[in-house]
């Protein structure tokens, strides 16, 4: 039987990205620049930069834009004052939310994030208050024309943790962050079409939300967080 789609965890985030291409380009450029500044321009020794560039390519960012962002970061031309920060909290109906940011002004960022939570009936928590409910994992989605048995053999041999056909007929592969690249490469080398892939925080369990009014408030909260310039990623455990 098909299982529950783990991709549901980031559907909202990706949908928001597609609707706001210019804002997403700005956030992706910021991540590329900071990753290159912190760990250098060589992809083999900088997995954070490699993932950022993969996301940029997935959003159809022009090659020269990516190269300029890498150069600016590697040469220390931009991003010197940026630092990573994470906020955790509870949204409507007690859903768990993680907000990852890049900022040069933590006071500004925490004020904007707190305002979004408060506006829609949530509240910020302390460090670690909800992150224990999530696990950082690689997630790869293949189209429904792939042979599940063949995918399973290839993916597991390359180090995947789980392979399953999900409710909508697609195949999803879960990996550790360390085996993410090797599994992707093995699948691509065996002519399996990768539709989407990411390293994301996946909740251990999802919180079902049936009430339409609560759903609407959750969506508004997630949208408002997405609109904060300093926010890079938003993760949640709501099953919408």
Note the pLDDT tens digit of each residue in 149-184. Answer: 888 999 999 999 999 888 777 889 999 999 999 999
15 with 40, same domain: the answer is: yes
In sequence order, the β-bridge partners of residue 60 are none
pLDDT-based confidence at 17, cuts 50/70/90?
Answer: low
5 to 22, 152, 162, 237: CA distances (angstroms):
28, 16, 12, 12
199 with 210, same domain: the answer is: no
49 with 152, same domain: the answer is: no
Q: Pairing between strand 207-208 and 238-239?
A: parallel
State what percent of residues in the chain have pLDDT above 70: 89
Domain that holds residue 183: 133-203
pLDDT-based confidence at 8, cuts 50/70/90?
Answer: low
pLDDT-based confidence at 1, cuts 50/70/90?
Answer: very low
Tens digits of residue pLDDT in 101-145 = 999 899 999 999 999 999 999 999 999 999 999 999 999 998 777
Tens digits of residue pLDDT in 48-88 = 888 889 888 878 888 988 898 898 888 875 556 788 899 99
Is the pLDDT assigned to residue 98 strictly greater than 50? yes
CATH label of the domain that carries residue 122: 3.30.70.980
125 with 209, same domain: the answer is: yes
This model's pTM is above 0.85: no
26 with 110, same domain: the answer is: no
Q: Pairing between strand 123-124 and 83-90?
A: antiparallel
Other beta carbons within 10 Å of 213? 8
pLDDT, mean of residues 2-30: 68
Residue 2 lies in a domain: no
Provide the pLDDT for residue 76.
74
138 with 121, same domain: the answer is: no
198 with 221, same domain: the answer is: no
Residue 224 corresponds to which tokens in the numbers above?
Answer: 């408002």
**Who has greater pLDDT, 30 or 4?**
30
109 with 165, same domain: the answer is: no
- Given CA atoms 164, 194, 51, 111 in this order, what sign does their dihedral have? negative
116 with 227, same domain: the answer is: yes
């Amino acid at each position: 039987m098909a299982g529950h789609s783990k991709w549901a965890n980031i559907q909202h985030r990706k949908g928001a990205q597609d609707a706001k291409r210019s804002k997403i380009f700005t956030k992706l450029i910021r991540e590329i620049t900071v990753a290159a500044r912190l760990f250098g321009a060589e992809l083999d020794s900088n997995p954070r930069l490699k993932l950022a560039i993969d996301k940029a390519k997935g959003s159809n960012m022009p090659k020269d834009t990516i190269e300029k962002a890498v150069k600016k970061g590697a040469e220390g031309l931009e991003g010197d004052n940026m630092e990573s920060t994470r906020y955790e909290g509870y949204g409507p109906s007690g859903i768990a939310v993680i907000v990852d940011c890049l900022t040069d002004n933590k006071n500004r960022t925490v004020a904007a994030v707190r305002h979004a939570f408060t506006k829609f009936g949530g509240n910020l928590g302390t460090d670690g208050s909800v992150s224990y409910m999530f696990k950082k994992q690689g997630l790869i989605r293949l189209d429904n024309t792939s042979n599940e048995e063949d995918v399973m053999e290839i993916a597991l041999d390359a180090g995947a943790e789980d392979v399953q056909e999900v409710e909508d007929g697609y195949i999803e592969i879960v990996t550790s962050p360390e085996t993410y690249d090797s599994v992707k490469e093995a699948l691509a080398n065996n002519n399996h079409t990768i539709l989407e892939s990411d390293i994301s925080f996946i909740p251990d369990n999802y919180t079902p939300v049936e009430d339409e009014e609560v759903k609407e408030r959750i969506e508004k909260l997630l949208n408002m967080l997405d609109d904060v310039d300093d926010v890079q990623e938003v993760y949640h455990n709501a099953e919408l």
